[in-house]
Amino acid sequence: MLETRKIISIGEAAHAIMTHQKCGTIEHVPLMACEGRFLAKDMIATCDLPHFTRSAFDGFAVRAEDTASARPEKPLTLEVVDHIGAGMVTDKIVTTNQAVRIMTGAQMPAECDAVVALELAKEFQKDGKTFVTIKRAAKIGDHISYQGEETKLGTTLVTKGTRIHAGISASLATFGYETVPVAKKPVVGILATGSELLEVSDPLVPGKIRNSNTSMIVAQIHKIGGKAIYFGKLADDFETSYQKINEAFAKVDFLITTGGVSVGDYDLMPDVYQKMNAHILFNKVAMRPGSVTTVAEKDGKLIFGLSGNPSACYVGLELFVRPSIRAMLFSSAPHLQKITAYLGSDFTKPNPFTRFIRSELGFRDGKVFANPVGIDKSNIILSLIKANSLAVLPGGTRGFQAGDQVEVLLIDDHEGSEWPW
Amino acid sequence: MLETRKIISIGEAAHAIMTHQKCGTIEHVPLMACEGRFLAKDMIATCDLPHFTRSAFDGFAVRAEDTASARPEKPLTLEVVDHIGAGMVTDKIVTTNQAVRIMTGAQMPAECDAVVALELAKEFQKDGKTFVTIKRAAKIGDHISYQGEETKLGTTLVTKGTRIHAGISASLATFGYETVPVAKKPVVGILATGSELLEVSDPLVPGKIRNSNTSMIVAQIHKIGGKAIYFGKLADDFETSYQKINEAFAKVDFLITTGGVSVGDYDLMPDVYQKMNAHILFNKVAMRPGSVTTVAEKDGKLIFGLSGNPSACYVGLELFVRPSIRAMLFSSAPHLQKITAYLGSDFTKPNPFTRFIRSELGFRDGKVFANPVGIDKSNIILSLIKANSLAVLPGGTRGFQAGDQVEVLLIDDHEGSEWPW
Q: For B103, which of A202, A265, A364 is closest by C-beta distance?
A: A265
pLDDT category of residue A350 using cuts at 50, 70 and 90? confident
Contact A340 B365 (CB under 8 A): yes
Query: Measured between CB atoms, does B85 come within 8 Å of chain A?
Result: yes
Query: Measured between CB atoms, does A34 come within 8 Å of chain B?
Result: yes
Query: Measured between CB atoms, does B314 come within 8 Å of chain A?
Result: yes
pLDDT category of residue A374 using cuts at 50, 70 and 90? confident
Residues 6 or more apart in contact with residue B312 via CB below 8 angstroms: B289, B290, B291, B292, B293, B306, B378
Would you state the pLDDT for residue B175?
98
Would you state the pLDDT for residue B359?
95
The pLDDT tens digits for A66-93 are 999 999 999 999 999 999 988 999 999 9
Which residues in chain B have their CB less than 8 angstroms from residue A201's CB? 176, 178
Mean pLDDT of B367-383: 80
Distance of CA B131 to the CA centre of its chain: 54
Distances (CA, A) of B199 to A295, B157, B386: 49, 47, 24
pLDDT exceeds 70 at position B379: no
CB atoms within 10 A of CB B4: 7
| Residue A328 contacts residue A23 (beta carbons within 8 Å) | yes
Contact A223 B165 (CB under 8 A): yes
| Residue B172 contacts residue B40 (beta carbons within 8 Å) | no
Which residues in chain B have their CB less than 8 angstroms from residue A222's CB? 35-36
Which residues in chain A have their CB less than 8 angstroms from residue B50's CB? 209
Average pLDDT, chain B: 94
CA–CA–CA angle A128, A133, A135 (5° rounding): 175
**A229, A234, A242: which is closest to A194 by C-alpha?**
A234
Q: How far off is chain A from B214, nearest CA to CA, in Å?
A: 8
Query: Measured between CB atoms, does A360 come within 8 Å of chain B?
Result: no
Which residues in chain A have their CB less than 8 angstroms from residue B381's CB? 49, 150, 167, 170-171, 174
Q: For A200, which of B176, B219, B363 is closest by C-beta distance?
A: B176
Contact B206 A89 (CB under 8 A): yes
pLDDT exceeds 70 at position A40: yes
pLDDT exceeds 90 at position A236: no
Mean pLDDT of B63-85: 96
CA dist., res. B39 & res. B163, Å (int): 6
Would you state the pLDDT for residue B263?
64
Which residues in chain A have their CB less than 8 angstroms from residue B208's CB? 87
Nearest residue on chain B to A155, alpha-carbon basis: B382
Average pLDDT, chain A: 94
Which residues in chain B have their CB less than 8 angstroms from residue A368's CB? 363, 366-368
Query: Measured between CB atoms, does A219 come within 8 Å of chain B?
Result: yes
Whether this model's ipTM surpasses 0.90 comes out as: yes
Radius of gyration of chain A (CA): 31
| Residue B394 contacts residue B369 (beta carbons within 8 Å) | no
pLDDT exceeds 70 at position A135: yes
Distances (CA, A) of B252 to B256, B276, B302: 10, 16, 10
Would you state the pLDDT for residue A2?
44
Query: Measured between CB atoms, does B214 come within 8 Å of chain A?
Result: yes
Instruction: State residue A365 phi and psi, 5-degree precision.
Output: 55, 40
Mean pLDDT of A199-223: 97
* Site from A215, A368, A375 to mutate, B interface, most B CB atoms within 10 angstroms: A215
Would you state the pLDDT for residue A397?
83
**A1, A18, A276, A42: which is closest to A180 by C-alpha?**
A42
| Residue B40 contacts residue B182 (beta carbons within 8 Å) | yes
Nearest residue on chain A to B107, alpha-carbon basis: A207
Q: Percent of chain A scored above 70 by pLDDT?
A: 97
Q: For B169, which of A58, A106, A216 is closest by C-beta distance?
A: A216
Which residues in chain A have their CB less than 8 angstroms from residue B385's CB? 157-158, 167-168, 171
Enclosing H/E stretch for B220 = helix B213-224
pLDDT exceeds 70 at position B140: yes
The pLDDT tens digits for A264-283 are 666 788 889 899 999 999 99
Mean pLDDT of B276-293: 94
Query: Measured between CB atoms, does B387 come within 8 Å of chain A?
Result: yes
Return the beta strands (E) in B219-353 as ranges. Answer: 227-233, 254-258, 279-282, 287-288, 294-298, 301-306, 337-343
Q: For B387, which of A151, A167, A174 is closest by C-beta distance?
A: A167
| Residue B34 contacts residue B169 (beta carbons within 8 Å) | yes
Between A71-85, A338-352, B36-50, B107-121, the lowest mean confidence (pLDDT) is in: A338-352
pLDDT exceeds 80 at position B172: yes
Would you state the pLDDT for residue B266?
65
Q: Percent of chain B scored above 70 by pLDDT?
A: 97
Residues 6 or more apart in contact with residue B33 via CB below 8 angstroms: none
Please state the three-class secondary structure of chain A as a single string: CCCCCCCECHHHHHHHHHCCCCCCCEEEEEHHHCCCCEECCCEECCCCECCCCEECCCEEEECHHHHCCCECCECEEEEEEEEECCCCCCCCCCCCCEEEEECCCCECCCCCCEEEEHHHEEEEEECCEEEEEECCCCCCCCCEECCCCCECCCCEEECCCCECCHHHHHHHHHCCCCEEEEECCCEEEEEECCCCEECCCCCCCCCCEECCHHHHHHHHHHHHCCEEEEEEECCCCHHHHHHHHHHHHHCCCEEEEECCCCCCCCCCHHHHHHHHCCEEEECCECEECCCCCEEEEECCEEEEEECCCHHHHHHHHHHHHHHHHHHHCCCCCCECEEEEEEECCCECCCECCEEEEEEEEEEECCEEEEEECCCCCCCCCHHHHCCCEEEEECCCECCECCCCEEEEEECCCCCCECCCC
> Taking chain A, what is the end-to-end CA distance rounded to the nearest angstrom?
33
pLDDT exceeds 80 at position A379: no
* Site from B160, B337, B381, B400 to mutate, A interface, most A CB atoms within 10 angstroms: B381
Query: Measured between CB atoms, does B88 come within 8 Å of chain A?
Result: yes
Query: Measured between CB atoms, does A204 come within 8 Å of chain B?
Result: yes
CA dist., res. B332 & res. B39, Å (int): 12
Q: How far off is chain B from A364, nearest CA to CA, in Å?
A: 7
Query: Measured between CB atoms, does A124 come within 8 Å of chain B?
Result: no
Would you state the pLDDT for residue B4?
67
The pLDDT tens digits for B181-197 are 999 999 999 999 988 99
Q: For B201, which of A178, A194, A197 is closest by C-beta distance?
A: A178
Contact A2 B118 (CB under 8 A): yes
Three-class SS of residue B320? helix
Q: For A363, which of B219, B340, B385 is closest by C-beta distance?
A: B340
Q: How far off is chain B from A369, nearest CA to CA, in Å?
A: 7
CA–CA–CA angle A208, B42, B334 (5° rounding): 135
Contact A381 B174 (CB under 8 A): yes
pLDDT category of residue B374 using cuts at 50, 70 and 90? confident
The one-letter code for the residue type at B418 is: E
**A301, A303, A318, A335: which is closest to A22 by C-alpha?**
A301
Q: How far off is chain B from A237, nearest CA to CA, in Å?
A: 14
Would you state the pLDDT for residue B2?
44
Which residues in chain B have their CB less than 8 angstroms from residue A342's CB? 366
Query: Measured between CB atoms, does B69 come within 8 Å of chain A?
Result: no
CA dist., res. A69 & res. A74, Å (int): 8
pLDDT exceeds 50 at position A387: yes
CB atoms within 10 A of CB A152: 12
Contact A49 B381 (CB under 8 A): yes
Contact B169 A218 (CB under 8 A): yes
Looking at per-residue pLDDT, the higher value among A261 and A23 belongs to A23
Which residues in chain B have their CB less than 8 angstroms from residue A386's CB? 167
Mean pLDDT of B6-30: 96
CA dist., res. A88 & res. A61, Å (int): 13
Query: Measured between CB atoms, does B152 come within 8 Å of chain A?
Result: no
Would you state the pLDDT for residue B349?
82
Residues 6 or more apart in contact with residue A143 via CB below 8 angstroms: A55, A56, A57, A59, A114, A115, A116, A117
Nearest residue on chain B to A43, alpha-carbon basis: B385
Would you state the pLDDT for residue B46?
98
Which residues in chain B have their CB less than 8 angstroms from residue A119's CB? 2
pLDDT category of residue B129 using cuts at 50, 70 and 90? very high
Residues 316-345 in B contacting A (C-alpha not used; CB under 8 Å) = 339-342
The pLDDT tens digits for A141-173 are 999 999 999 999 999 999 999 999 999 999 999
Which residues in chain B have their CB less than 8 angstroms from residue A208's CB? 87
Would you state the pLDDT for residue A88?
92
CA-based torsion, B308, B311, B313, B316: positive or negative: negative
Nearest residue on chain A to B58, alpha-carbon basis: A264
Strand partners, B337: B410
Return the beta strands (E) in B201-336 as ranges. Answer: 209-210, 227-233, 254-258, 279-282, 287-288, 294-298, 301-306
pLDDT exceeds 80 at position B265: no
Query: Measured between CB atoms, does A117 come within 8 Å of chain B?
Result: no
Query: Measured between CB atoms, does A274 come within 8 Å of chain B?
Result: no
Query: Measured between CB atoms, does A230 come within 8 Å of chain B?
Result: yes
Q: For B207, which of A35, A88, A204 is closest by C-beta distance?
A: A88
Query: Measured between CB atoms, does B392 come within 8 Å of chain A?
Result: no
Q: Percent of chain B scored above 90 by pLDDT?
A: 86
Query: Measured between CB atoms, does A107 come within 8 Å of chain B?
Result: yes
Contact B85 A51 (CB under 8 A): no
DSSP state of B332: S
Which residues in chain A have their CB less than 8 angstroms from residue B223's CB? 35-36, 165-166
